[in-house]
Amino acid sequence: MIAGIALSFWLIFELRVKSAEAEFLVEEIDGLRGIVQENTLLPIVQPNNPELKVVRKMKVVITGYSSSPWETDDTPFITAAGTGVRDGIVANNYLKIGTKIRIPELYGDKVFIVEDRMNPTKGKYQFDIWFSSRKEALNFGAERTHIEILGK
């Protein structure tokens, strides 16, 4: 065990020394490839995350929402999952938190993550996309389309 700790320390030390010599350096450590910059290893490939496949399609209505107080609860910048709002977040009451979806007719291959919930009166076939402003959400309006639910 001590040898493993020493080896890990040596690899980290080597990365830091090498990163000082070059602005970007691609390294492989324990099967993980990444770009080394300063003392940070940024992943290039995540080998333990297999490509997501479409496991189901659903016809839905998609609307937009923002972090306006009248559209949310008393924590408008925190999702039901406890994360901060950001691009790529959707709200839905049917799918599990963390479910990944695509909206191909509107956004191509962009992946969205269900991290928020809607008013309980909304049905399972309605999704809300988070927008950074109320104006953007209103401009989006409502769209009838289909989503692709992704899984392994």
pLDDT value for 76: 84
C-alpha separations of 46 from 43, 122, 131 in Å: 7, 36, 28
Q: Based on the domain organization, do 23 and 70 belong to the same domain?
A: no
60 and 26 share one domain: no
Q: 141: closest CA among 73, 85, 61?
A: 61
The predicted structure's pLDDT at residue 74: 78
Asked if residue 111 and residue 86 are part of one domain, the reply reads yes
Say if strands 111-116 and 89-91 run parallel, antiparallel, or are unpaired.
parallel
Instruction: Please give the chain's pLDDT, 152 residues, in tens.
Output: 444 444 444 444 444 444 444 444 444 555 454 545 555 555 555 556 668 899 999 999 999 999 887 777 778 889 999 999 999 999 999 999 999 999 999 999 999 999 999 988 898 999 999 999 999 999 999 999 999 999 98
The number of beta carbons lying within 10 Å of the beta carbon of residue 13 is 10
Token reading at 7:
């080896």
CATH of the domain at 67: 2.40.40.10
Same domain for 136 and 64, yes or no, is: yes
Find the domain containing 32 and state its range.
Answer: 2-43
- Note whether residue 48 is domain-resident: no
Q: Has residue 128 been placed in a domain?
A: yes
Instruction: Give me the number of domains the chain comprises.
Output: 2
